[in-house]
Amino acid sequence: MPLTVSQLMEKMPGAFLPEKAQGVNATIHFKFTGAEAGDWNAKIADGKVAVAQGEPAEKATMTLTADSADYVRIFTGELDGMQAFMQGKIKLGGDLNLAMKLMQMFKIK
Summarised one tens digit per residue, pLDDT across range 18-73 is 999 999 999 999 999 999 999 999 999 999 999 999 999 999 999 999 999 999 99
Confidence of residue 109 (pLDDT cuts 50, 70, 90): low
How many Å separate Cα 36 from the centre of its chain?
A: 15
**pLDDT of 1 over the 80 cut:** no
| Helix H or strand E segment including 48 | strand 48-53
Number of separate helices (H) and strands (E) present in the chain: 4, 5
Q: Give the Å distances, CA to CA, from 44 to 47, 70, 85.
A: 7, 23, 22
Cα dihedral sign, 93-99-19-73? positive
**pTM value surpassing 0.75:** yes
CATH code linked to domain 5-105: 3.30.1050.10
Domain ranges in the chain are 5-105
pLDDT value at residue 74: 87
Strand order in the sheet with 26-33: 48-53, 38-45, 26-33, 62-67, 90-94
